[in-house]
Amino acid sequence: MFGGARTSARWRRLNSGFDLSILQRCQDVLRDVDTSWRSVMSLMADLSQAVFKINGLVSMLAEGQKDVVMERMELVDLARSVARAVVVDKDGEDFQHVGAQNITGVDPLLVRVFQRLATAADMPLTVLMGVSPSGMNATGESDLRIWYASVESERRAIQPLVRRLVRVIARSEGLVPPEEITWPSLWQPTEGEKADLEVKQAGADAVRIQSQVLTPEQIQRGRYGGERWEDVIVQPTETGVGLEGMEDDYSVSDVPADYKIEIGSVWTDTRDMHRIRVNAEIGPFVYLVDLDASPEQFRWSRGAFLERCTPPVSSAPSP
Residue 99: pLDDT band (50, 70, 90) is low
- Residue 186's alpha-carbon distances to 53, 145, 191, 297, in angstroms, are 64, 9, 16, 34
One-letter amino acid of 130 = G
Per-residue model confidence (pLDDT) at position 128: 82
95 φ, ψ to 5°? -130, 130
Each residue of 132-186: pLDDT tens digit?
Answer: 665 444 556 777 888 888 888 888 888 888 988 998 999 888 888 887 888 888 8
Q: Is the pLDDT of residue 245 over 60?
A: no
Higher-confidence residue: 203 or 272? 203
> What is the Cα–Cα distance from 208 to 226, expressed in whole angstroms?
19
Each residue of 24-79: pLDDT tens digit?
Answer: 878 888 888 888 888 878 777 666 667 777 777 777 788 888 888 888 888 877 77
State what percent of residues in the chain have pLDDT above 70: 78
Contact at 8 Å (CB) between 214 and 233? yes
Per-residue model confidence (pLDDT) at position 84: 66
Buried b or exposed e, range 130-141, using 16+ CB within 10 angstroms: eeeeeeeeeebe
For CA atoms 217, 223, 224, 226, the dihedral sign is: positive
Contact at 8 Å (CB) between 42 and 35? no
Domain boundaries, the chain: 48-98, 133-186, 191-233, 239-319
| Range of weakest confidence among 91-100, 154-163, 170-179, 289-298 | 91-100
State what percent of residues in the chain have pLDDT above 90: 3
Contact partners, residue 303, CB within 8 Å, separation at least 6 = 257, 284
pTM of the model: 0.43
- In a 3-state reduction of DSSP, which class is residue 178? coil
Per-residue model confidence (pLDDT) at position 243: 37
Contact at 8 Å (CB) between 12 and 19? yes
Per-residue model confidence (pLDDT) at position 169: 92
Say how many C-beta atoms besides its own lie within 10 A of residue 305's C-beta.
23
Residue 311, classified by CB atoms within 10 Å of its CB into exposed (0-12), middle (13-18) or buried (19+), is buried
Mean pLDDT of 76-105: 68
Per-residue model confidence (pLDDT) at position 59: 79
Say how many C-beta atoms besides its own lie within 10 A of residue 124's C-beta.
19
> What is the Cα–Cα distance from 84 to 47, expressed in whole angstroms?
19
In the DSSP assignment, the letter for residue 275 is E
Per-residue model confidence (pLDDT) at position 8: 87
Residue 276, classified by CB atoms within 10 Å of its CB into exposed (0-12), middle (13-18) or buried (19+), is buried
